[in-house]
Structure 1
Amino acid sequence: MMQEALPLKMEENNSGTLYVPVDLFKQYVERVQFPKAISFGTKTIQCEVAPHPDQKNEYMISKNLWEALMIPHEGLIHLLQKEDTVFIGPLVGIFTAGFTQFNLRPIGERSLFFAKLLSVEKKVGAFYFVFGAHQIDWGNGTVNGYFYTADGWKQIKVPIPNVVYDRLPNRKVENLEFSKQVKERLQTEYDIPWFNPGFFNKWDIHQMLINDVKASKHLPKSYFQPEFTDIQNLLETYKQVYIKPANGSLGLGIQQLIQKKDEPFVYCRFRNNEENRLRRYSSLKRLVRRQFPFGLEDMIAQQGINLLKWNNNPIDFRIHTNKDEHGRWCLSAIAAKIAGTGSITTHVKSGGEVKTVKEILHDIGANPAIIKKLHETALMLSERIDHHMPGFIGEIGFDIGVDQSEHVWMFEANSKPGRTIFSHPKLKGDDLQSRRLPLEYAIFLFKQSVEKQPELVNANEHFLQL
């Protein structure tokens, strides 16, 4: 049973009491069953229950309970009940790395992003903080986490959280032993739901979906660690080929090969030293030898698509999908990205431009029904990836294209999507939605984990007595 989100306040007494709204207390009286313990994060303590003294629709906790549970501040919370224990919160930790010694910017350049992410707790109802591996005190079962308050960043000691949202910054940090150990211990020793684990590998996703009936028709023809003949066949068939790192991100390392009609030359478009470059070669063999001197290990060669264009520049679409408070996939954000002149990708750093989908489709006179097609495809792909992949996935960022025949193609799926599209003034609502949904999904996971909880009250070793 989960109650609606209500304010949580501290009562200046040491009675060891949880005060609940009168209506909820009446339910306890009718059932002649009163909670005997309260749980916050991974701490559980005995308590008494009483009706709110002022009959307000809020929760209050006596000071000694508050301090023993290590509640960081007053706020909006959810309350769940399982057997004789009430669970309040949830306490949700965002796991990351790259902390600094500066209180104003404790996570360096990403501090503003995390501050915006944490700000949704007041709207959703939870306690939300950021932490790294070195802030966990395993002996005491606590975390010295960073909370973003009205006075800026503050480090506050709290119990180990109910749910962890993985926001590690890159694959290098993710593969470090200490990152793996934290995840392993929290999941095995504390049975904590950990969502968005791991960066996606492009080829793993491709292989996962290629035999999926619904998803496979949206995948461009691709080869991993391609032979020369694979590239040659793709170029002859499609007149353009993209070659990119299987573990790449931000458009780095992508090269486009172009074979123009009735020309003996082969062109290569790429980015070097923050400049868009175009080179012409007399043969494909020379191009491959020069452009890929270290070979094509861990590279993917992919069929080029004749995309919808704006002023002769290709367009693709960034679509964010998230799971909601019911654990269902929904579309949280969508934007069109236009490639910069001479650029191989639509990334803003390569001269790309962001527009709303309605704007772009209107400008190029395209069928507005494409929007519905994009929505449906992104949700279907989210469900199929989720179906095939282990662990909890809470969000995906897709790079999707539409060709001249209005067929939808998936180029990439990212487990930790970038947020450059949200600089567009008309995408502020999407920005808020895409920040709010991860916390709503964390509440769903909190509810699931509570329902799986064993009976705590009779297991004295699991909780403290004041």
Structure 2
Amino acid sequence: MARKYKIEFFEASDPILYTPQSLPILEHTDKVAFGSKIAAAKIEPHPNGRNVFSVSSALAGELRMPAFLTVLHCFQNSDILMLGPLVGIFTAGFTPFENRPAGARSAWFAKLLSAQPDAGVVPFLFGEQHIDWEQGVITGYFYGRAGWEKQEVPFPNAIYDRLPNRKSEKLVNAQKIKEKLENEYFIPWYNPGFFNKLEINERLFQDPDVRPYLPETNPLTSFHQIERMLSDYGMVYIKPVNGSLGLGVHQILYHHASGAYYCRYRDTGNRLLKFSSLENLMNRVFSKKQWNRLLVQQGIFLVTDGGRPVDFRVHTNKDGDGNWVVTAIAAKVAGPGSPTTHVRSGGLIKTLPELTENPEQQEMYRHALETAALKLSRAIDEHVEGIIGEIGFDLGISTDGKVWLFEANSKPGRSIFNHPFMKACDLLTRKMSLSFAVYLTERQVQSPGEMFP
């Protein structure tokens, strides 16, 4: 496993690299790489016996290595010593404002890039307009003590996809850039795309190890289908196939005693409407042209907190060995009258100890959620194309103690980390989403044919 070292710079007109005393260097190593740039250099153990990398200004300039770096990893391959990894965070929606390059998302990107010393990587933000294909460099946005600053750097060792929405993902230029950097430059691109709810459900349903976590989920086709599922489950949810943030989610219930149908949803506020028939409900709430973009899902009667349904956000990340680990768990309590537990609908975030003071109950929830999330992560990793390094799950626990998967997110929201007791998990998830690039770079160095046969 690659080691993390401190790095410093010194003035010299020759390309020189002094290596940490504890790092054995292969005999014929005479080149240094940073991202896609490679330079010949004099490589020697540190003359003062220190356990740091010392890079001459001449070498740093040739490699386009930012002078504000403090920590990074190293990898050895044949006659090349690679420093980094250099990680490009690809997104869209840039603005002309230097202090807010990504608009409202700039604050979150600043927090992400601030995890650099903990992750030991060199992260920068960029979009399609920042690539100079002829020179093989990218004008990237870095974030440090002085705030945002631009610097030209080589093409990175790995790219973390943080496109903001499905619309930007479908743009032809974004797709072409991904294909070119992967297929021509052999740069691993991780967490590409947004998950399609129906597609994920269909693929996971083929895996007997995770099938028990899946509520019945179907494309919306007919009134009869909804009636049948209401008869089976007492409640269903109608959702956009490609929705997010709880937008467009409708809860449908049938009340046997009165023969009435109820629809709970949110627009400008939380709504509860009553109808005499399912047909009236569907015609009033949904337009027929929406149907091919909707799914209907089995309703689950969940554990509650103060009479309000609770589900759970569970984050998983791959660690330095490429194994899935759980990095955050939080409960989400539905707002009064809301069909979802999202904060924007009045929901509350709670830690497990806040949800229940019973230590045995806490441990039961934790164990059940971790077991489910890890099994689901491995299954998605196996059945979905692309390199996946993090997933955010919305899981429920029914009143009989069974865990259910409501949604898997390739670019999970981060509202749970606004909770004051979730700050450590916030840092851990940011750190691991970046340090996954260390694992990818090491695999590239040791077994390049594995990722790009």
**Please, which of 246, 255, 266 is the counterpart of residue 251 of structure 1?**
246
Q: Is 1:237 matched with 2:237?
A: no
1:49 aligned counterpart, secondary structure: strand
Per the alignment, residue 461 of structure 1 pairs with none
Q: Which of structure 1's runs of 4+ aligned residues deviate more than 6 A?
A: none
Deviations 1:104-123 (A, max 9, x none): 11111111100110111112
Per the alignment, residue 191 of structure 1 pairs with 186
Q: 1:205 to 1:332 in 2, by over 3 A?
A: same
Deviations 1:162-220 (A, max 9, x none): 10000000000000011111101110111001000000000000001112101111111
In structure 2, what residue type is equivalent to 1:35? T
CA–CA separation in structure 2 for the residues paired with 1:258 and 1:386? 35
**Please, which of 350, 355, 360 is the counterpart of residue 355 of structure 2?**
360
**Please, which of 419, 428, 433 is the counterpart of residue 424 of structure 1?**
419
In structure 2, what residue type is equivalent to 1:13? A
Contact 2:352 2:362 (C-alpha < 8 Å) held by counterparts: no
Per the alignment, residue 52 of structure 1 pairs with 46
Contact 1:259 1:266 (C-alpha < 8 Å) held by counterparts: yes
Contact 2:2 2:442 (C-alpha < 8 Å) held by counterparts: no
Structure 2 unaligned spans of 5+: none
Contact 1:358 1:368 (C-alpha < 8 Å) held by counterparts: no
Bigger shift: residues 143-152 or 224-233: 224-233
CA–CA separation in structure 2 for the residues paired with 1:266 and 1:353? 28
**Please, which of 275, 281, 297 is the counterpart of residue 275 of structure 2?**
281
In structure 2, what residue type is equivalent to 1:8? I
2:221 aligned counterpart, secondary structure: coil
Deviations 1:83-140 (A, max 9, x none): 1111101100100011111111111111110011011111221211110110000000
Per the alignment, residue 439 of structure 1 pairs with 434
Q: 1:453 to 1:340 in 2, by over 3 A?
A: closer
User: 1:376-391 counterparts in 2 under 5 A?
Assistant: 376-391=371-386
Give % identity. 44
CA apart distance, 1:3: 5.0
In structure 2, what residue type is equivalent to 1:5? K
In structure 2, what residue type is equivalent to 1:44? I
CA–CA separation in structure 2 for the residues paired with 1:188 and 1:211? 30
Q: Is 1:150 matched with 2:148?
A: no
User: 1:60-75 counterparts in 2 under 5 A?
Assistant: 60-73=54-67, 74-75=69-70
Bigger shift: residues 275-284 or 7-16: 7-16
In structure 2, what residue type is equivalent to 1:18? L
CA apart distance, 1:11: 2.3
Q: Is 1:269 matched with 2:268?
A: no
CA apart distance, 1:225: 2.6
Q: Is 1:216 matched with 2:215?
A: no
1:184 aligned counterpart, secondary structure: helix
1:217 aligned counterpart, secondary structure: helix
Q: Is 1:125 matched with 2:124?
A: no
Per the alignment, residue 409 of structure 1 pairs with 404
Q: Is 1:167 matched with 2:166?
A: no
Per the alignment, residue 8 of structure 2 pairs with 9
CA–CA separation in structure 2 for the residues paired with 1:361 and 1:294? 43
Contact 1:91 1:163 (C-alpha < 8 Å) held by counterparts: yes
Contact 2:217 2:296 (C-alpha < 8 Å) held by counterparts: yes
CA apart distance, 1:22: 3.3
In structure 2, what residue type is equivalent to 1:280? K
CA–CA separation in structure 2 for the residues paired with 1:452 and 1:129? 26
Per the alignment, residue 21 of structure 1 pairs with 20
Contact 1:255 1:344 (C-alpha < 8 Å) held by counterparts: yes
In structure 2, what residue type is equivalent to 1:107? A
**Please, which of 318, 323, 340 is the counterpart of residue 328 of structure 1?**
323
Aligned residue pairs total 447
CA apart distance, 1:262: 1.4
In structure 2, what residue type is equivalent to 1:375? E
2:209 aligned counterpart, secondary structure: helix
Deviations 1:403-435 (A, max 9, x none): 010000000000000000011111111111110
CA–CA separation in structure 2 for the residues paired with 1:54 and 1:125? 23
Deviations 1:298-352 (A, max 9, x none): 2110111010011111000011111111111000111000000100000000000
CA–CA separation in structure 1 for the residues paired with 2:412 and 2:346? 19
CA apart distance, 1:4: 2.1
Q: Is 1:304 matched with 2:337?
A: no
Per the alignment, residue 444 of structure 2 pairs with 449
1:22 aligned counterpart, secondary structure: coil
Contact 2:119 2:432 (C-alpha < 8 Å) held by counterparts: no
Bigger shift: residues 379-388 or 33-42: 33-42
Per the alignment, residue 36 of structure 2 pairs with 42
Structure 1 unaligned spans of 5+: 455-466
CA apart distance, 1:147: 0.2
CA apart distance, 1:23: 4.1
CA–CA separation in structure 2 for the residues paired with 1:348 and 1:159? 40
Normalising by structure 1, report the TM-score.
Answer: 0.93
Q: Is 1:100 matched with 2:95?
A: yes
Deviations 1:2-49 (A, max 9, x none): 65211122221122221112343xx44xx7x13111111001111121
Normalising by structure 2, report the TM-score.
Answer: 0.96
CA–CA separation in structure 1 for the residues paired with 2:251 and 2:359? 24
**Please, which of 335, 338, 362 is the counterpart of residue 340 of structure 1?**
335
CA–CA separation in structure 2 for the residues paired with 1:294 and 1:411? 25
Contact 1:8 1:77 (C-alpha < 8 Å) held by counterparts: yes
Q: 1:55 to 1:200 in 2, by over 3 A?
A: same
In structure 1, what residue type is equivalent to 2:421? K
Bigger shift: residues 48-57 or 193-202: 48-57
Contact 2:72 2:120 (C-alpha < 8 Å) held by counterparts: yes
In structure 1, what residue type is equivalent to 2:282? V
Per the alignment, residue 463 of structure 1 pairs with none
1:426 aligned counterpart, secondary structure: helix
In structure 2, what residue type is equivalent to 1:251? G
1:106 aligned counterpart, secondary structure: coil
Q: 1:166 to 1:58 in 2, by over 3 A?
A: same
CA–CA separation in structure 2 for the residues paired with 1:111 and 1:120? 15
Deviations 1:28-72 (A, max 9, x none): 4xx7x1311111100111112122122211111222111010001
Question: Root-mean-square deviation (CA), in Å?
Answer: 1.6
